[in-house]
Structure 1
Amino acid sequence: METIIFDVDDTLYDQTLPFKKAFTQVIQEPFSDEKIDKVYIASRKYSDALFDEWEAGEVSTQQLHTYRITAACEEFGIGLSEQTAIAFQAAYYREQQRIQLFDAVEQLLDLLHQENKQLAVLTNGGEHHQRMKMDQLAIERWIPKEHIFISGALGHAKPKQEAFHFIEDKLKLDKAQTVYIGDSFDNDIVGAKQVGWKAIWLNHRHRKLPKSNVRSDATVFSAKELLDLFSTSIHWV
């Protein structure tokens, strides 16, 4: 059976929107949208750098959250107190409860569901927090709860092969008929390709291709391009 598996953050929805709103509310620097985008990208870099330690329980969730925003802001000459970093995270969490799917992703999910494709989600993060997002996105309109896989519940995070192999076993996947879609080259594309899946890089942040022997099977630069890719050939996988 053809199976399409999605990442969540910055793949199903625009993760910068809640970040920008929280930044404007709490930090209140006179930054343009483009500059806040750069702060956001830096925050993801610092989040990824500490993720393994967080997953192992070596740092707390609050430490992860305060570190990633304070370190990102420091790159741009903004000094944040711990209190301000905590206030930012609270605002960010509130705005994440208002997220919406990319319009083109919603259309794509409708299309794939109508074509009886097997759909699933694989996302890194804490179980409660990620489920909150997926409830807000109403993802179970297309993807059953038992097809939603969260690293915090699995005990393994992307790009570790164990996370991908767990889904293979649960869903009885045919590697040649499985494609993973995500925005992170290192976590999503490398992770999927190392276990023999196909992979589509949704590079809507126009990040540079990392130095790697791994290549995606396709790269698109917007959710609309992703929809067009499948609309052109529904049997893409």
Structure 2
Amino acid sequence: MKLFIRPEAFSVISFDLDDTLYDNRPIIRQAEAASQQFLNQQYPKSQAWQVGDWHRLKLTLIKQRPQLRHDPSLARQAMLECGLVQLGYDARTAKAGATAVFDHFVIHRSHFSVSDPVLELLAKLKQNYRLIGITNGNVDYQRIGLGDLLEFVLHPGQGFKQKPAADMFVQAAKQLNIPLRQILHIGDSAMSDVVGARQAGCQAVWLNPGFGVTEEAALTLQLPHIEIGNIQELLKFKMFS
């Protein structure tokens, strides 16, 4: 644990989810593979494209429609619908296909459980703090075992920009009816989590390296209050409350 700025008293701990409470990389790869297989089976013309073709299309759509950057679910559906049209399907079929493939992706996106050690850690922290989630992803926290531990989870979209924008931090404080400084946000991204939390007026803990990662990352624009190398170090936080 590295202490850069001594934290003030806090009453809420906010967690980024992906790569902070679990290794998200293999989960996304599996969900991508499952949805691609479903896509190829149900819409055979899609076999002409590889995964990279779909990713390039999504980047193009985000450049054309910047608001998609702040809604990962909508961006994926837009990518699928546009791609199916480009592959030769009519607009109605493409729209229905995008919905079906996205639904298939969502099932596999949240088809895992957070590990017992992390769940036990959260249960211990919950004895002293209110716990929430602020994530740029679209995982279903109820399905992965966090429903009884986190009061709520905020995702980008529906008018909320993704981190490092302040939108979700401000909304969290509003829902909790507390000042922003009473939120201690924990995440693996120096930009999204540390800079986002600090600029919003929250306190920040940087998990470096992220869950399942071995190499440490470099700081960006702002220091976190604390840097930790293992999520279990959070058990030491009673000294700061």
Q: Do they fold alike, i.e. is TM over 0.5?
A: yes
Note the C-alpha offset of 1:193.
Answer: 0.8
Residue by residue over 1:97-156, the C-alpha shift from the partner in whole angstroms, topping out at 9 and shown as x without a partner, is: 3222133321221101122x111111224xxx43xx212113221123xx3222224533
Which residue of 1 is the match for residue 228 of structure 2?
220
If the length of structure 2 is used for normalisation, what is the TM-score? 0.62
TM score, norm. by length of structure 1 = 0.63
Q: Secondary structure at the match of 1:156?
A: coil
Do 2:114 and 2:145's aligned partners in 1 also have CA atoms closer than 8 Å? no
Task: Find the residue that maps to 2:173 and give its secondary structure.
Answer: helix
The 8 Å contact of residues 12 and 130 in structure 2, kept in 1 or not, is answered as yes
What letter corresponds to residue 219 of structure 1 in structure 2?
A: E
Percent of aligned positions that are identical: 22
Instruction: Say if 1:218 and 1:52 are closer, same or farther in 2 by CA, change over 3 A.
Output: farther
Task: Say yes or no: does 1:120 pair with 2:145.
Answer: no
Question: Which gives a bigger RCO, structure 1 or 2 (Cα 8 Å, sep 6+)?
Answer: 2
Alignment-mate amino acid for residue 240 of structure 2: W
Query: Does the 8 Å CA contact 1:13/1:99 hold for their aligned counterparts?
Result: no
Matched to 2:26, the amino acid is: L
Amino acid at match of 1:214: Q
Which residue is 1:110 aligned to?
123
- Do residues 139 (structure 1) and 146 (structure 2) align? yes
Give the letter aligned to residue 216 of structure 1. P
Structure 2: gaps of 5 or more residues: 1-9, 38-54, 82-86, 88-97
Looking at secondary structure, tell me which structure has more helix per residue. Answer: 1
1:185 matched to 2:196? The reply is no
Larger radius of gyration between Structure 1 and Structure 2: 2
**Which contiguous aligned blocks of 4+ residues in structure 1 show a shift greater than 6 angstroms?**
23-27, 88-91
Deviations 1:15-72 (A, max 9, x none): 1222344577779xxxxxxxxxxxxxxx8xx97x949441478x84245589xxxxxx
Q: Secondary structure at the match of 1:179?
A: strand
> Displacement of 1:172 after TM fit?
2.4
**Take 1:92 and 1:207, find their aligned partners in 2: how far apart are those partners?**
30
Q: Deviations over 1:168-200 (max 9, x none)?
A: 222122444321011222111110011232211
| Alignment gaps of 5+ in structure 1 | 28-42, 67-80
What is the aligned residue count?
191
Tell me which residue corresponds to 1:38: none
The AA in structure 2 aligned to 1:220 is: I
1:11 to 12, 16, 20: 20
Counterpart check, 1:98 vs 2:107: no
